[in-house]
Chains A and B, each alone.
Chain A
């Protein structure tokens, strides 16, 4: 009575076909990641050492370490965060918690989406015009960081907004009906419950910012500098640009040096992302709706 019919057999065969097809595509996805990491470790792993990380480059960048570039990247990313995070979070809070859905907010929304779509080289030229020349910061950490900040602002706004939106409306209702103002509601209920998502977004932004090259090469990152930056108005070396330079611009660089730089760069990004994931898991475990 319940025996298999030929139609059942055919349907099952098709179903299996698709399952295997999609599984193979998924596996295909992780192959590049494995190859990239594998190549970098195989070719650049040998150069990684304490000295590599913490000494200056020597012999026209064909030997020595990457300390100025490593430090410069940290500088640029930190200053970019200081600029973009408060601005982005404030904008996201305004858009999600205060502003209604009207033509004004829709235009802002559109602007944010477009800002996210602007190519990084265009941001770089904007940075030159605005920060280097118009505001007179010169090519400096400040100009480079502000350029990066503008570029990553949409990411911060969008991710923050998503986290705010994920806080159930019922919590806000509960607060408002007890006579809480918007700000009291945001401060006491919305932000505490959105903070894990907001922080995750910020850390992801950090990892993106770390690798950017174009926006900083005209605005603040230097080819080679024999000294470390003393303030945000100095130029600095940066890992991403340094990688470009040693890989293509300098003759006689030993093979493992660019791979080593790339490995450090990618390790920084992966480290950031892992922290972000661990953090999110920790905070998620604590909350329950």
Chain B
């Protein structure tokens, strides 16, 4: 009985985690996205590449609706996340943010302990309900293990998160999203503040997380897109030029613009 219902849930997971249809976006009068139609596969790592100003970050930021905080952003078209248009009027923003986690360029841990950082989201969404110390410990351990940070920090969970190295901070920022059980993780150049060793470590972590989470990662670093993603989207001037398996996009791109970009003729 139990396994049967689990199977049904398994089967209802859509093939695509994020689908956009005719997505247009304006900052005031400036149009940043033009008719973006994308199908981003569930449980995969998809990277977004393109020169500065091509709209890749704008796209990422409209997937969890943080763009609209700017006030002068206008959008039409649809963005379905797990088959629900997140711009529908009956959508609660807090639920969107729970399901779709975001990781920023600069690690931004809160100025409290490692433990508090992990539990922050959990406490936020737990309502008035108290979680027992044991449950909290379990959440902290599970989250930190998942981001490969547990062994480094298990002996000083009460240390300030801001005292960690940047690499550890970025891992912590990923870890603190996990207790509220997101489906999609958006990453906006998550390694650009890190040194090569930190970059490698965070890339390894992102690779570990695939399957369980749908990961959309914006990067300036083509080598990174190539190493750390399964599908790759190339954008230019607010339009999607090409969306392919990463290996194909870098070896046999369909479009001339893509070929020029990955060979470094502009960007």
Chain A residues within 8 Å of B, Cβ to Cβ: 100, 170-171, 173-181, 184, 188-189, 193, 287-289
Contact = CB atoms under 8 A, between A and B. Distances in A.
Contacts of B98: 178-179
B124 interface: yes
A180 B124 contact: yes
B120 A178 contact: yes
Given A170-B106, A170-B108, A288-B163, A179 B121 contact: yes
Given A178-B176, A179-B125, A180-B124, A173 B108 contact: yes
A232 to B, nearest CB: 37
B110 A171 contact: yes
Pick the most buried of A170, A177, A189, A193: most chain B CB atoms within 10 A of its CB. Answer: A177
B99 to A, nearest CB: 9
Contact of A177 (B66, B109, B111, B162): B66
Contacts of B93: 179
Sorted from nearest, which 10 A-B pairs have the closest CB atoms? A179-B97, A170-B108, A178-B121, A179-B94, A174-B108, A177-B102, A179-B98, A180-B124, A288-B162, A171-B110
Given A178-B97, A179-B121, A188-B120, A193 B180 contact: no
Interface of B: 64, 66, 69, 71, 93-98, 101-102, 104, 106, 108-111, 120-121, 124-125, 160, 162-163, 173, 176-177, 180
Contacts of B110: 171, 174-175, 189
Nearest to B106: A170
Nearest to A102: B71
Nearest to A180: B124
Contact of B180 (A171, A175, A178, A287): A178
22 contacts: A170-B104, A171-B110, A174-B109, A174-B173, A176-B66, A176-B69, A178-B97, A178-B98, A178-B101, A178-B120, A178-B176, A178-B180, A179-B93, A179-B96, A179-B121, A184-B124, A189-B110, A193-B111, A287-B111, A288-B111, A288-B163, A289-B111
A179 B180 contact: yes
B111 A171 contact: yes
Given A177-B66, A179-B180, 6 more contacts: A170-B104, A170-B108, A174-B108, A175-B124, A178-B101, A179-B98
Contacts of A181: 94
Among B64, B69, B101, B108, residue most surrounded by chain A Cβ atoms (within 10 Å): B108
Nearest to A181: B94
A188 B121 CA distance: 11
B192 to A, nearest CB: 15
A179 B71 CA distance: 18
Nearest to B107: A170
Contacts of A193: 111
A289 B169 CA distance: 12
B120 to A, nearest CB: 7
Contacts of A176: 66, 69, 97
Contacts of A171: 108, 110-111
A253 to B, nearest CB: 55
B108 A100 contact: no
Contacts of B64: 177
Contacts of B108: 170-171, 173-174
A188 B120 CA distance: 9
A289 B108 CA distance: 10
Given A179-B125, A179-B180, A288-B163, A173 B120 contact: no
Nearest to B108: A170
A173 B104 contact: yes
Contacts of A179: 93-98, 121, 124-125, 180
Contacts of B106: 170
